[in-house]
A and B are shown apart, each in its own frame.
Chain A
Amino acid sequence: MDNFNYYFDNIHLLGIQGMNKKTIQSILERAQYFNQKKKNRKNKILKDNLVINLFFENSTRTKASFEIAAKSMSADILNISVSSSSIKKGETLIDTAATLNAMHPDFLILRHPNSGAAEMLSKHVECSIINAGDGRHEHPTQALLDAAVIKEEGINLEGLKIAICGDILNSRVARSNIYLLTTMGAQVSVIGPPTLIPKDIERMGVKVFFDLDSGLKSSDIIMILRLQNERMDGSETPSKREYYSFFGINENNLKLAKKNALVMHPGPMNRGVEIASLLADNNEISLVKKQVEMGVSVRIACLEMLKLSRNKLLK
């Protein structure tokens, strides 16, 4: 293992909040390095390490991405998916984690529907916790991979104008991205209907737009968030077609943004709801595939970073 310095002093990766610029830069740089070697990235960084993927919510890409990352680092990996019905059977999160902890994993990658679940677990286990999404709170590796993709495009984060569009209220991706992008000096706008914009979000250093046209104006990048179907049935927004007509991004309204503006989406996409199908498939504009690809590299970097902190802090 190279002695790469991440400037990171924690054995857990719980969120972007509180992470400094230097650390973020290091992770992005390292992720880009691993991304270059993607055909030949097998290494032995996590040889003899046990990684457990513990997912209490459905996930395809994040779970697969962590699994591929861990395997390419020669770790042993165990996938556990707990459907919400099994949680109702009675075992608490702490008990599940304690059971797994007793099998001495080195890393526990957790996705959970409740905000703060990863932080809570980190106080009850010895292994390193990686937050792979906790409720509406944070999804740090997603924000890191988004930033790494932007950098990979040769775009500087400092001064960059980014609009995040959609369900900000319920989105952990939005929160992690806001923390990361504002820390790196980008100008962030959020766009969505007032029912999906949480209170006082301006105080997180972003501008709020309820109208797509003015929100998109002069943006370099538009980050589109997934809107859950159950929020478009007259509860938080009146209907799918109303949402699409006010906030759906297509090649037409994209013209309001800067020339050559790029589009990102953390997936999975609702084609024809938050993003026009044609746009989603236009690889000149859409970075969606590159996001998935970079996901693995960012997770390799994060696992390496935590492995190095464990070596340093747990001696």
Chain B
Amino acid sequence: MKKTLFQNIRIIDGNLNIDSNKDLLINENSILEISEPFSIKNPDYELIKTSEASFIIPGIIDLRVESRDPGLSHTDNLETLLKSAAKSGVTTMACLPNTKPVIDDPSMVESLSLRAQNFNLTKLLIYGAASIGLNDEKMSELGLLKQAGVVGFTNANKPIYNPLLMKRILSYSTMLDLPVIQHADIPELSMDTEATESENSTRLGLRGVPSITEAMLIERDLHLVKLTNSRYHVSHVSTKEGLQAIERAKNDGLKVTCDTSPPYFILNDLSLSNYDTRYKLSPPLRSDEDRKFVEQSLKNGIIDAISSDHSPQNRDSKLLPFAQAKPGSLGLETLFSTTLSLVNSDKLPIEKAIHLITSGPAKVLNLNLGTISKGRPADLTVIDPDKSWIVKGESMNSLSSNTCFEKMPMQGIILSCWKNGRKIF
């Protein structure tokens, strides 16, 4: 079996809290050896030389992407999605069940994972629909979905809202030991809204949803989580009140985790001032106070992971008046650089930043990944942190180009990406 040696490379592992230069030997499966620089020598190994500034991290794990395939493959297809992930240094990602048809049936899980496997790129994990058709009425076959390989249950970009259904799903999921993933929103309050309710939404005449809507659903859920002793994960948390509720639950010892996404620590609702539909997201962009609280919660560990919240929308869905445009932004290809920006602005130490996109998400889904140690799968991403670039949606690996970071300068590029010891980018 072919062996590959990364000689004297800086390894940053957020799980082991390591940042030092080593020799790293892998084969086409797992990590064979980690030792002092220049200690491994064998002319048969393929030698990977990198510049002094570059470093290697565990392959990035992304907890939230939307696959438009099957169903809306003119917006994005599986091939572009997986290629985009590999280019982004992502070796494992979990996609939402809001495809067409919805992933509420075991055969859907099997067919999508099989198709993804055939590309031999990033590993695609799948969340099963918590309710049939994502209609929030009847529980899906959660057990059979688990047997087919799903890693959690969710209503995708809609909340699991019906309280009886939520109680039952949380309760039933304990038997399967999988997390229930929530998009925290109150539909009656957010219906037809375009922005977070604020001075800015008032000035712009956009219909506003109060930011506490997120916390309202989280607080309700937490009572049910306590009652059922279940695993509960909140996706793309974006508000202070939501995070405070999660912090209290963690302090109470509940099995609660959460992630946020880059727009919520990089941007605020002032971006909406020109009605640019690229900034229409779900949840909507929040106040700068919320943004700062998200930033702080990444540092103090209330937030377990950063997810890309990759949501391709075709040009026509965005070329509309703000009220009619679809929410969402591409996120994969900006995931690493936006995370690194927290390090460059001294908001996070680098090990912590890396943890949030590798070992952090791995722990949320109980994956045996996200760390560089002997015997583990050789999922690796090599980074040049100094190289700068400008975000351009058109040049991303997607059939859509809707990024909310358009024209923003970024730092850090992916030099190569390895899945099970095989170079996928």
Contacts and interface: CB of A to CB of B under 8 A. Distances in A.
Interface stretch (B62-70, B201-209, B232-240, B417-425): B201-209
A117 B321 contact: yes
A199 B197 contact: yes
A82 interface: no
A203 B322 contact: no
Interface in B206-234: 206-208, 210
Given A198-B208, A199-B197, A199-B198, A116 B203 contact: no
B204 to A, nearest CB: 6
Given A92-B316, A199-B197, A200-B198, A114 B321 contact: yes
Nearest to B316: A92
Contacts of B204: 115-116, 137
A112 B324 CA distance: 12
A115 B275 contact: yes
A199 B208 contact: yes
A85 to B, nearest CB: 15
Interface in A134-180: 134-138, 172, 175
A137 B274 CA distance: 12
B319 interface: yes
Given A115-B275, A116-B275, A119-B274, A201 B202 contact: yes
A207 to B, nearest CB: 15
A134 B205 contact: yes
B177 interface: no
B320 A93 contact: yes
A94 interface: yes
A207 B210 CA distance: 22
B323 A114 contact: yes
B241 to A, nearest CB: 15
A120 interface: yes
Contact of B322 (A116, A172, A198, A199): A116
Contacts of A198: 197, 201-202, 208
B199 interface: yes
A115 B322 CA distance: 7
Nearest to B272: A116
A93 B202 contact: no
Interface string B305-337: 000000000001001111110000000000000
B202 A138 contact: no
Given A175-B203, A200-B199, A201-B202, A94 B319 contact: yes
B289 to A, nearest CB: 13
A199 B207 CA distance: 11
Contact of B275 (A17, A120, A172, A203): A120
B273 to A, nearest CB: 10
Contacts of B322: 114-116, 120
A208 to B, nearest CB: 12
A34 to B, nearest CB: 29
A119 B205 CA distance: 13
A78 B145 CA distance: 59
A200 B287 CA distance: 13
A315 B238 CA distance: 48
A19 interface: no
A92 B320 contact: yes
Interface size class of A (residues with CB under 8 A): 20 to 34
Interface string A179-217: 000000000000000000011110110000000000000
B321 A112 contact: yes
A204 B198 CA distance: 12
A268 B201 CA distance: 26
Nearest to A199: B197
A191 to B, nearest CB: 16
B203 A199 contact: no
Interface string A289-309: 000000000000000000000
Nearest to B200: A200
Contacts of B208: 198-199
Interface in A98-147: 112-117, 119-120, 134-138
A138 B205 CA distance: 8
Contacts of A134: 205
Contacts of B207: 136
Contacts of A112: 321
Interface in A197-255: 198-201, 203-204
A137 B205 contact: yes
A256 to B, nearest CB: 27
A172 B319 CA distance: 23
Given A112-B321, A199-B208, A119 B203 contact: no
Contact of B323 (A92, A94, A115, A204): A115
Contact of A115 (B197, B205, B316): B205
Most chain A CB within a 10 A radius of its CB, from B205, B206, B275:
B205
Contacts of B274: 119
B197 to A, nearest CB: 5
Contacts of B321: 93, 112, 114-117, 120, 135
B320 A203 contact: no
A86 to B, nearest CB: 15
Nearest to A171: B205
Contacts of A119: 274-275
A115 B206 contact: yes
B277 to A, nearest CB: 8
Nearest to A202: B199
A203 B275 CA distance: 20
Given A120-B275, A199-B208, A135 B202 contact: no
A196 to B, nearest CB: 12
Nearest to A123: B274
A17 B203 contact: yes
Interface string B365-380: 0000000000000000
Given A114-B322, A116-B321, A175-B203, 4 more contacts: A117-B321, A134-B205, A199-B198, A204-B202
11 contacts: A92-B316, A93-B320, A114-B322, A115-B205, A115-B275, A119-B274, A135-B323, A137-B206, A199-B201, A199-B208, A204-B203
Interface of B: 194, 197-199, 201-208, 210, 274-275, 316, 319-324
Which 9 residue pairs spanning A and B have beta carbons closest together? Answer: A116-B275, A137-B205, A136-B205, A114-B321, A200-B199, A115-B205, A198-B202, A114-B323, A117-B321
